[in-house]
């Protein structure tokens, strides 16, 4: 079956649309039930990150697959198909493999080389596997994509350094509040991005930092490890918000964590000074209406698109070569898997004919010694192998030659993809 990848990414879609399309973990069982019920779909993996929402699927054919995946994205996320039509990007067969491998290697990220995407690709595959959704083709595809991502990080420096999102966002914050020295910060979330943000803020001179998370225990551990002065649960956001100068939120929650009303109330309890809010989450943690409040500066992923630095170009080229190598390996594996039934059937038929002919001549060969009979057997095997060697080698060149071989020998034709 052909492989088709369809979805939207930061390249064409706004944060607002990505937010509407995003799949939370709890959405996936229902989403896979919907997706796998589509007639052309034989296997699928949903990849939903802050930069993209894509479906990689094993489909019957390109056009029917395109229609099914497009309908799934629109219907399951309650998005008007007209809003999606011009934004969807499709990748088919070898191009789909190249696209996914580039994504896993960080080459298609907003910040080329960012390290979180590889883990997100791996988690997307594991979530699909839990729903029995991938199938053998996508299992092979995603395992090789993960290997490409690992190689890119181990063999190049493309993923080196702290998160560029944090660095670029913090730079905006410094300008907004007039520097971090002596300021108070609130970090909402206790994941990897939040840890990077907290450590960066402390290193840049923030005097007091608080960590709040859905898990108060995780917040406490991060606070102790990174030098924050206090921690707590998300319910304490109103308690700490009014005292903060800089707020960085990256929770991965399904909905808004900091609403405009909470920000407005916090402003009434603080002197007139700037409040910088950096929202690194998709779906967004901070209500966009907060930006309309006096004294508030709000930045999110959209604002960082044009200011984040990318990876070194030499490292990017090295990672691209790794992706090309891994795509070639996948294509070779796929071709072999697709052609194996034709080759196996050809050799099986030849072997049956060889044995039948020897059986037909058994009475005429009865006078031969055991050694001579083995020599005849070996010679006929060698004749068959040599006659079939060249056709089989040429068959490995592609589908059309395999189909011709099947027709010439009266075998079952291979699937088209």
Q: Indicate whether 331 belongs to any domain.
A: no
The pLDDT value recorded for residue 186 is 95
Q: Is 215 left (phi over 0), alpha (psi -120 to 50) or beta?
A: beta
Asked if 267 and 297 count as a contact pair (C-beta separation under 8 A), the reply is no
What is the C-alpha separation between 19 and 284, in angstroms, rounded? Answer: 7
Six-digit token string for 404: 């011709």
Is 392 considered catalytic here?
Answer: no
Give which of 240, 195, 239 is closest to 219, Cα–Cα. 195
Looking at the structure, do residues 12 and 70 belong to the same domain, yes or no? yes
Looking at the structure, do residues 176 and 220 belong to the same domain, yes or no? yes
Show which of 155, 176, 193 is a domain's final residue.
155
Looking at the structure, do residues 31 and 128 belong to the same domain, yes or no? yes
Asked if 212 and 237 count as a contact pair (C-beta separation under 8 A), the reply is yes
pTM: 0.66
Q: Indicate whether 198 belongs to any domain.
A: yes
Q: Indicate whether 237 belongs to any domain.
A: yes
b/e code 372-394 from CB counts within 10 Å (16+ = b):
eeeeeeeebeeeeeeebeebbee
Q: Indicate whether 279 belongs to any domain.
A: yes
The pLDDT value recorded for residue 162 is 47
Q: Indicate whether 315 belongs to any domain.
A: no
Q: Which residue segment(s) compose the domain that 136 sits in? A: 3-155
The pLDDT value recorded for residue 287 is 92
The pLDDT value recorded for residue 284 is 84
What is the C-alpha separation between 83 and 17, in angstroms, rounded? Answer: 9
Q: Indicate whether 310 belongs to any domain.
A: no
Binned average pLDDT, 10 residues per bin, the chain of 417 residues: 91 87 92 94 94 94 94 92 90 95 91 81 96 93 95 82 75 91 92 88 90 91 86 93 94 86 93 90 87 93 71 85 94 76 82 90 88 90 87 68 79 68
Show which of 155, 184, 214 is a domain's final residue.
155
For residue 356, the Cα-to-chain-centroid distance in whole angstroms is: 53
Looking at the structure, do residues 9 and 136 belong to the same domain, yes or no? yes
What is the C-alpha separation between 138 and 58, in angstroms, rounded? Answer: 7
Looking at the structure, do residues 110 and 192 belong to the same domain, yes or no? no
Looking at the structure, do residues 168 and 232 belong to the same domain, yes or no? yes
What is the C-alpha separation between 307 and 280, in angstroms, rounded? Answer: 14
The pLDDT value recorded for residue 158 is 80
Give which of 115, 192, 168, 113 is closest to 278, Cα–Cα. 168
Give which of 224, 229, 236, 188 is closest to 207, Cα–Cα. 229
The H-assigned helical ranges of 252-360 are 260-267, 301-304, 313-360
Six-digit token string for 15: 């944060």
Active-site residue identified among 45, 50, 121, 209: 50
Number of structural domains the chain divides into:
3
What is the C-alpha separation between 359 and 353, in angstroms, rounded? Answer: 10
Where does residue 154 rank: exposed (0-12), middle (13-18), buried (19+ CB within 10 A)? exposed
Show which of 155, 182, 197 is a domain's final residue.
155
Beta strands, E only, 32-190: 41-48, 52-59, 89-92, 184-188
Assign 23 to helix, strand or coil: coil
CATH code, domain with 38: 3.30.460.30
Q: Indicate whether 265 belongs to any domain.
A: yes
Looking at the structure, do residues 144 and 177 belong to the same domain, yes or no? no
Q: Indicate whether 316 belongs to any domain.
A: no
Asked if 237 and 188 count as a contact pair (C-beta separation under 8 A), the reply is yes
The pLDDT value recorded for residue 165 is 79
Looking at the structure, do residues 10 and 93 belong to the same domain, yes or no? yes
Looking at the structure, do residues 267 and 179 belong to the same domain, yes or no? yes
């Amino acid at each position: 079956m052909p492989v088709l990848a369809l979805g939207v990414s930061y390249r064409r879609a706004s944060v607002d649309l990505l937010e509407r399309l995003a799949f939370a973990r709890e959405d996936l069982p229902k989403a896979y039930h919907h997706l796998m019920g589509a007639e052309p779909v034989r296997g699928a993996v949903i990849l939903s990150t802050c930069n993209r929402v894509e479906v990689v699927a094993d489909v019957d054919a390109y056009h029917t697959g395109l229609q099914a995946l497009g309908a799934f994205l629109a219907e399951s996320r309650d998005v008007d198909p007209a809003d999606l039509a011009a934004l969807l990007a499709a990748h088919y067969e070898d191009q789909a493999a190249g696209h996914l491998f580039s994504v896993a290697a960080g080459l298609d990220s907003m910040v080329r080389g960012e390290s979180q995407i590889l883990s997100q690709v791996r988690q997307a595959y594991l979530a699909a596997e839990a729903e029995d959704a991938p199938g053998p083709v996508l299992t092979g595809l995603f395992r090789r994509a993960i290997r490409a991502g690992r190689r890119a990080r181990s063999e190049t420096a493309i993923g080196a350094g702290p998160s560029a999102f944090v660095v670029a966002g913090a730079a905006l914050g410094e300008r907004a509040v007039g520097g971090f020295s002596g300021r108070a910060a609130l970090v909402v979330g206790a994941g990897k991005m939040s840890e990077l943000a907290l450590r960066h803020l402390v290193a840049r001179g923030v005097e007091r930092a608080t960590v709040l998370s859905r898990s108060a225990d995780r917040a406490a551990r991060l606070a102790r490890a990174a030098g924050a002065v206090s921690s707590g649960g998300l319910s304490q956001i109103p308690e700490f918000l009014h005292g903060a100068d800089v707020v960085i939120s990256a929770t991965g929650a399904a909905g808004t964590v900091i609403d405009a009303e909470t920000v407005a109330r916090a402003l009434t309890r603080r002197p007139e000074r700037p409040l910088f809010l950096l929202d690194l989450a998709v779906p967004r943690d901070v209500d966009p209406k907060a930006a309309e409040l006096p004294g508030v500066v709000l930045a999110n992923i959209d604002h960082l698109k044009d200011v984040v630095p990318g990876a070194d170009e030499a490292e990017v080229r090295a990672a691209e070569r790794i992706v090309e190598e891994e795509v070639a390996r996948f294509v070779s594996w796929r071709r072999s898997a697709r052609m194996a039934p034709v080759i196996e059937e050809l050799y099986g038929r030849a072997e049956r004919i060889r044995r039948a002919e020897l059986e037909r001549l058994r009475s005429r060969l009865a006078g031969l010694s055991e050694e001579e009979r083995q020599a005849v057997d070996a010679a006929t095997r060698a004749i068959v192998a040599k006659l079939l060697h060249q056709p089989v080698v040429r068959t490995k060149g592609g589908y059309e030659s395999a189909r011709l071989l099947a027709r010439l020998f009266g075998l079952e034709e291979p699937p088209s993809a």
